[in-house]
Amino acid sequence: MRDRTCRRRDERVVWHERWRSQRIGFHRDAPLPLLTSHWHSLGLPPDSRVCVPLCGKSLDMVWLAEQSHRVLGIELSDLAITQFFDERGLAPRIHTSAAGTHYIAGPWELLAGDAFAVPAALLADCAGVYDRAALIALPASMRATYAATTWSRLPAHCRGLLVTLEYPQHEKAGPPFSVGESEVQARFVGTQWSVALLERRDILAHEPSFQAEGVSALSTAVYRLDRAG
């Protein structure tokens, strides 16, 4: 348990430092195509609340709001959150709770806090969840904890999209880490989630940084996850 706590603390330090130094190559300047292609297949009604763990300042949250959703983002870095609102020209209302610091403006509530420790009560009205960069940002031991905490606290009938990367892990040190279909099934099936692969795309030709590191194959996959009642 002590080793696990130390690893989580080390990962937090690294994450904060990446935001302070603006080493955020994972941030995209447009919504993810897999999101825009597959989100509506979930059939969530307008005004549904959508949880986005480890959200950074992702423009995917802007796109989700444009679909008439309310967004609950969870992020370790206060800097990422303040940049998100600054770039929208918004001055959020701020308050603290046991979960962390809440920044709220328009359709967005972004929580600066630990995604592993977010209480079920805060997630209780989330009809949807979108994970593009959380699971693949974590080493294997922390991925297990993440699935057993954050995802297990989402309410019954919640529906979501999970986006992963697949590549030969020995060819590159994560993050982002390679997470194959067998691991997705192992993490979520049996914890009241059903998993369906929606699409897998070969993206190596579009990722020069992976090519530069000698990665020989790279795909991205998107899954639909449905929580039982």
pLDDT of residue 189: 87
Query: Is 154 annotated in some ligand binding site?
Result: no
pLDDT of residue 6: 47
Tell me whether strands 100-105 and 108-112 are parallel, antiparallel or unpaired. Answer: antiparallel
pTM: 0.90
Partnered with residue 111 across adjacent β-strands are 74, 102
Query: Is 76 annotated in some ligand binding site?
Result: no
User: Can you give the residue range of the structural domain that contains 204?
Assistant: 2-227
- pLDDT tens-digit map of 156-166: 999 999 999 99
The C-alpha atoms of residue 14 and residue 186 are separated, in whole angstroms, by 27
Residues of the chain with pLDDT under 70: 1-28
Paired tokens of 120: 């079920």
The domain tally of the chain equals: 1
Please state at what angle helix 140-149 crosses helix 181-188, rounded to 10 degrees. Answer: 40
Paired tokens of 143: 């991925």
Secondary structure (3-state) at 19: helix
CATH number, position 25: 3.40.50.150
Query: Is 109 annotated in some ligand binding site?
Result: no
- pLDDT tens-digit map of 185-200: 999 987 789 999 999 9
Query: Is 54 annotated in some ligand binding site?
Result: yes
